[in-house]
Amino acid sequence: MYRHVAPVPIAPMPCAGDIAQVRHRQYLVNEVIAPSDVREQHTLVRLTCLDDDAQGRPLSVLWERELAARVIRPEQGGLGTPERFDEPRHFAAYLHALKWSSVTATEARLFQAPFRAGIHLMNHQLTPLKKALELPRVNLFIADDVGLGKTIEAGLVLQELILRQRVDRVLIVCPASVTLQWRDEMEKRFGLRFEIFNSEFVSRRRQERGFQVPVWATHSRFIVSYQTLRRSEYFEPLKTLLEEKGHHKSLLVLDEAHVVAPASASRYAIDTETTRSIRSLAERFEHRLFLSATPHNGHSNSFSALLEMLDPQRFTRGTRVRETQLAPVMVRRLKGDLRALGSSQRYPERHVVGVRLTHDSGRWHAEWLAPDGKTVEQRVDLGEASAPELELSQKLARYTELMAPGTKQGRLVFINLQKRLLSSIEAFHRTLSIHAAAFGAGALAPDGGALTGDTAPESEEHGETDDALELSFAETIREHSQDLSASVQARKLLDDMLKLSARHRAARDAKLRALLHWIRKHQCPLTRGAAWKPRRVIIFTEYGDTLRYLKEQLTAAFEGTQRGDERILMLTGGIDDVKRAEVQAAFNGAMEEFPVRVLLATDAAREGINLQGHCADLFHIDVPWNPSRMEQRNGRIDRALQPASTVRCGYFIYGQRAEDVVLDTLARKVETITRELGSLGCVLMDQMHDALASGITKGTLERLARAATSTRTEVTKRELESQRTLQSLRKELDAIGELRDRSGQVMDFNPVLLRDALDVGFELAGAGRLEREAITEEGRTLEAWKVPALPASWSTTLDSIRPRRERDEAAWEWRKRPLSPVVFDAPPGVSSKLVHLHLSHPLVQRVLQRFLAQGFSANDLSRVTVVQTQRDAVARVIVFGRLSLFGEGAARLHDEVVSVSARWLDGGGRGHLKPFADEADRKAIDQLETTLAEAPALSAISKAVQKRLLASVESDFSKLWPAIEEQASVREQGARKKLAARGASEAKALTQILLTQREAIQEALSAQLELKLDARAEQDQWRRDKVHLEQRLTALGRELVEQPESLKATYAVRVARLVPVGMVYLWPGAR
């Protein structure tokens, strides 16, 4: 026999806008799709989660098949019938978690991200965030000076957008050398986990998910290098995925954004392949954030093209960039400006020193000189030695004159020989040997062996290795040398140079002698058993050959000193992320823990890497012919969070070598340009680089002088710098300070309250409290805290506060190590081993989510407490509700906690539970934070009183809830009006932007001005831009109708939700 089973009743069908409980969570019903066929019996319902601990998460269900799915009215259940009171400190933690998670779009300028991040909060870093929140779509260009913290500024904008549920998907595109730093900064400072998209990640994902799953669809936040993105097998699937998902709630971050701008050494800049690729990618994102200290290359059409990628509704390539258009979307400050205004953040003074080397009576001497020629350090004797560098320079100049190369490729050989000689004899000898092979000599590869046609493979993730670059360069030299012919006299000179350089390639040259003098004076006397002082230095060179020469020479010099074999680290091109991180951590680490004192680096380390933790000294062994590289190198230590008040950047010049006179002039001009123009000087630096393109000759100084007065600088000043004045910056920082204070008051965040909340959270998890411990770092004693032992289920979360994992360390061994101490304010410097617990930290998030889930998916708390107070002689009760307004896609537009206070009379009667019957009721709410902070434990309230109050909770709450609804209704109407006003205001502003753009395009087209362009490529580019203007003009007509209305809809409230939060009884201590 079969037992009859009653059918499960089907819940009433929801409608769009309803709130439904599905799988123990509350969801907003976005769409209800009825069966399309009579044979189908299931209704598809698309939902978006409203719970704080899973906010914005989408879900699609078949309604009839979903167990216990139902439409709900959250306010109807009240707080239920609690069986106990919560401890006051437990309730306080719960209430604070709710407050800290609230957001609002009613006021564009109120922000939350700075108080949730693990950063040293500086007012100037809040300007991009302020501007971002004032924009309907966040299309923002952060063009701050090198070292002012553009990564942190971008992180603040990103975090705020995520908190407001305006962004779900993020793509960060950056140079390969800083992908790891971006990932670590986003996770450490903002609690945001990104995946680095590279071949290793693709391989791992395909093993886990199979080839049928698009790799780009397996995560919502990626970091990818420009090198990787250029590969079509990665770029095309990304475009396809973005087309399928649409651009809604997506953000593109371009670091070093200037690399995607059209570029040309001529009058009119031409689109590059990177320009076209990024342009097609950028249009598929709703929000765009560009970062670059050098946004303008001197070409107006290039700048307008870059800005069009940023905001196509505000800018169009080929039209003039107006200051009024640029001001809302551009943020640009220089370190010098902030210093002049007396910024509380200390930015180091940079001292650039030229080390002049002279040879006199068979001895080398060195003199340290400031850019103005004043002596910084008196002349010192470097010892007796010959001067092969000077002799080789003369011979090479004569050899070049005799060879008289007529082609560009031929001249390139001699230019590179000159550059190598200016770096080191070792680098020169290796290159000269390869060149000599064209005339019958044996060619030498960079490692000293025979040169083969094979080159080391390029690493897409980490850039080319130095060896690969050397081999590729060697191939170029050999190929172009084969087309040259040499006279007998030229061959004699070549043979002399080969013999001379071979004799001295391994000897200490004058630059090395001067460097060792500095090391003996400031780091270690280099005698047997000598100790090292706590001072570090970076030594940059452009060439791998010179780097190896320095490594060999310094290793020999350090031999016999204390731990001499551990004092040198190298940072070169092509090293993997793990090795790069190890080197960076060691060089920034504590002196007593990491013995390294010298970092040898090629230009692979010149961009984006923080090396200022314990280093304020840097030397350029060779002066780069591209001046921008010199500035980028200096920026590794001249940046925010540099603990030293002064950084010193030195370079070497031979006073008796003609070429060095030019390089000295170049270095001094770079320093002057940087001091006066900041990163704007990149335009002049590019021109100066062009002046050296044909090598250093008698006319080079004159070409440099002309380059330093380029008219392209005036274009850049007019289009980029007109908005940047000290007066406007002063007003901006004053306004930011006021806004920061106001936002802080609204959020009401305090690190002490966070620590209390964590203690409560750990207790609810069955663990102990945080334990105070004193930690000494950098000679200072700091207050830190030890995290208690937590259940095994917390293991992955606790990974976020473990010490750095070593390269070959097994996971289980790593997890056995003690946890790092934690603090609640940002620790000093960039190398601290203390972990900053902030609101976005994974450990904090896990604790707070437990509070946010109370009453929904968690029931640890009754959400009712009674607090003994000495501030009032009358018992009172405060009831809390939470008002939330949601827009399209369940985006949270407004949040606030609504509270009502009333007297509680034991025997009932007149005034009992009457909301706001007197001023004391409002005062009780105002003083609640202080009352909770001062409250004794629940045991201070007698059992009899607790029993009496507990019995009246349900009745008291139901009687006061109508007052909460009344208060919430008033607040809701006010919030709706503010949202509607903001939508109308931004729609109006957008309309004006589009009209202004249309006028600019019409003006450009009506002029019908065909530029006098010589190159065919430039003419073609101009014609393409003209066609684009015509197409853009047509599109603007449609956008004027659609875009403002679409913007208004962003602020339209789809559903209002009022839910019970909790209740507090205030019991007089005198009763």
818 and 948 share one domain: no
d(CA 360, CA 369) in angstroms, rounded, equals 18
3-state SS class at 852:
helix
Q: What is the pLDDT of residue 31?
A: 84
List 570's β-bridge partners, or say none: 600
274 pLDDT higher than 60:
yes
Look up the pTM and report it.
0.81
Question: What is the identity of the amino acid at 1047?
Answer: L
924 and 961 share one domain: yes
Question: What phi and psi values does residue 699 have, to the nearest 5 degrees?
Answer: -95, 5
pLDDT in tens, 572-622: 877 777 788 889 889 998 898 899 999 999 887 666 678 888 999 999 999
500 and 525 share one domain: no
Cβ atoms of 548 and 425 closer than 8 Å: no
Order of strands across the sheet with 250-254?
195-196, 221-225, 169-174, 250-254, 287-291, 139-142, 330-331
Question: What is the identity of the amino acid at 126?
Answer: L
Asked if residue 141 belongs to a domain, the reply is yes
End-of-domain residue from the set 332, 352, 378: 332
837 and 872 share one domain: no
698 and 771 share one domain: no
End-of-domain residue from the set 332, 353, 370: 332
Q: What is the pLDDT of residue 260?
A: 86
653 and 515 share one domain: yes
Per the structure, the complete domain to which residue 422 belongs is given by: 406-433+443-504
Of 232-246, 586-600, 845-859, 1008-1022, minimum mean pLDDT range: 1008-1022
650 and 680 share one domain: yes
Asked if residue 614 belongs to a domain, the reply is yes
Q: For 47-57, what is the mean pLDDT?
A: 75
Cβ atoms of 513 and 383 closer than 8 Å: yes
637 and 695 share one domain: yes
Stronger pLDDT, 103 or 236, i.e. the higher one: 236
d(CA 690, CA 700) in angstroms, rounded, equals 10
Q: What is the pLDDT of residue 477?
A: 64
Number of domains making up the chain: 6
One DSSP character per residue, 146-193 reads: TTS-HHHHHHHHHHHHHHTT--SEEEEEE-GGGHHHHHHHHHHHH---
992, two tokens: 């004006």
Place of tokens 């080191």: 424
d(CA 462, CA 285) in angstroms, rounded, equals 26
What is the DSSP pairing of strand 876-886 with strand 1055-1068?
Answer: antiparallel
- Tell me, what CATH number does 233's domain have? 3.40.50.10810
**Residue 507 to residues 383, 389, 418: CA-CA distances in angstroms?**
13, 11, 19
d(CA 661, CA 668) in angstroms, rounded, equals 11
Alpha helices in 454-529 (DSSP H): 466-481, 488-504, 510-522
pLDDT band for 485, please (50, 70, 90 cuts): low
Cβ atoms of 177 and 577 closer than 8 Å: no
Share of the chain above pLDDT 70, in %: 85
d(CA 816, CA 810) in angstroms, rounded, equals 10
Place of tokens 């970091």: 223
pLDDT in tens, 111-142: 889 999 988 888 889 999 999 988 888 999 99
- Tell me, what CATH number does 600's domain have? 3.40.50.300
Asked if residue 118 belongs to a domain, the reply is no
pLDDT in tens, 83-116: 899 999 999 999 999 999 888 888 877 888 999 9
What length does the chain have?
A: 1071
Q: For 748-754, what is the mean pLDDT?
A: 90
CA terminus-to-terminus distance, the chain? 69
493 and 524 share one domain: no
Question: What phi and psi values does residue 953 have, to the nearest 5 degrees?
Answer: -55, -55
Of 270-284, 293-307, 565-579, 1007-1021, minimum mean pLDDT range: 1007-1021
523 and 483 share one domain: no
514 and 499 share one domain: no
Asked if residue 417 belongs to a domain, the reply is yes
Cβ atoms of 686 and 697 closer than 8 Å: no
Asked if residue 357 belongs to a domain, the reply is no
Stronger pLDDT, 535 or 1046, i.e. the higher one: 535
Q: For 1009-1037, what is the mean pLDDT?
A: 72
826 pLDDT higher than 50:
yes
End-of-domain residue from the set 282, 317, 332: 332
Asked if residue 372 belongs to a domain, the reply is no
895 pLDDT higher than 70:
yes
2 pLDDT higher than 50:
no
Highest mean pLDDT among 2-16, 329-343, 746-760, 879-893: 746-760
Helix axis angle for 658-677 and 682-691, nearest 10°, is: 160
492 and 518 share one domain: no
Helix (H) or strand (E) holding 301: helix 300-310
d(CA 300, CA 317) in angstroms, rounded, equals 9
Of 605-614, 672-681, 854-863, 1043-1052, minimum mean pLDDT range: 672-681
Q: What is the pLDDT of residue 468?
A: 58
Stronger pLDDT, 212 or 245, i.e. the higher one: 212
Asked if residue 765 belongs to a domain, the reply is yes
482 pLDDT higher than 70:
no
3-state SS class at 311:
coil
Q: What is the pLDDT of residue 464?
A: 54
561, two tokens: 């000193």
Q: What is the pLDDT of residue 234?
A: 93
pLDDT band for 999, please (50, 70, 90 cuts): confident
Instruction: Specify the DSSP class assigned to residue 678.
Output: G
Place of tokens 């969570």: 25
Stronger pLDDT, 784 or 405, i.e. the higher one: 784
Asked if residue 464 belongs to a domain, the reply is yes
d(CA 8, CA 14) in angstroms, rounded, equals 17
